[in-house]
């Protein structure tokens, strides 16, 4: 009886260690891929929610941008403003800018804020 149990324990250990060993590099690859796509995902979020007014480059040189007198947020202009302040602007919106607190998650807003500070 004791023998069967210890054999079972050894089998379990071999399977677990083997799985980690084989799957380890695969996990590492998935991580690299997902962080690469998350940059693209953030850019897509910006393009689908913000670019119609602010423009793909942040200069606000769009039809809506001119209509609403959108400020230029490109060229590192937002780097001087704190992420906290920019997060509030995006969540609450402004005079002509819509609020995004219900449309986007806090995580999505945080990534967009990081993205626009680098425009
Ligand atoms: C309907 C047009 C419109 C859309 C869509 C829009 N904005 Fe704006 N945004 C504006 C306008 C106009 C202002 C100037 C403040 C105001 O009048 O509302 C502004 C201001 C800002 C500011 C403040 C800039 C500064 O110098 O302080 C930030 C940051 C900003 N927008 C980011 C975003 C982000 C990020 C999105 C997408 C999630 C977005 N905006 C979507 C029109 C828009």
Ligand 1 mean position to 11 CA, how many Å?
A: 60
Element holding 109 (H helix, E strand): helix 106-117
Q: Are 73 and 54 in contact (CB under 8 A)?
A: yes
> Which residue's CA is the closest to the ligand 1 atom numbered 6?
50
**Residue 27: CATH number of its domain:** 1.10.760.10
Number of domain units in the chain: 1
Q: Decide whether any atom of ligand 1 lies within 6 Å of the 91 Cβ.
A: no
Ligand 1 mean position to 90 CA, how many Å?
A: 7
> Which residue's CA is the closest to the ligand 1 atom numbered 15?
94
- What pTM did the predictor assign? 0.77
Ligand 1 mean position to 91 CA, how many Å?
A: 10
Domain range for residue 73? 2-117
Residues 7-43 pLDDT 10s: 656 555 555 555 545 555 554 545 555 455 588 999 9
């Amino acid at each position: 009886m004791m023998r069967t149990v210890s054999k079972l324990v050894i089998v379990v250990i071999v399977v677990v260690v083997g799985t980690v060993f084989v799957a380890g590099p695969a996990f590492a690859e998935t991580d690299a891929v997902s962080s690469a796509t998350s940059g693209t995902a953030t850019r897509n979020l910006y393009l689908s929610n913000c670019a119609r007014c602010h423009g793909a480059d942040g200069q606000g040189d769009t039809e809506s941008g001119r209509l609403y007198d959108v400020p230029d947020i490109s060229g590192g202009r937002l780097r001087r403003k704190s992420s906290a302040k920019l997060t509030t602007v995006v969540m609450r919106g402004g005079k002509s800018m819509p609020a995004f607190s219900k449309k986007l998650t806090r995580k999505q807003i945080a990534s967009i804020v990081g993205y626009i500070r680098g425009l």
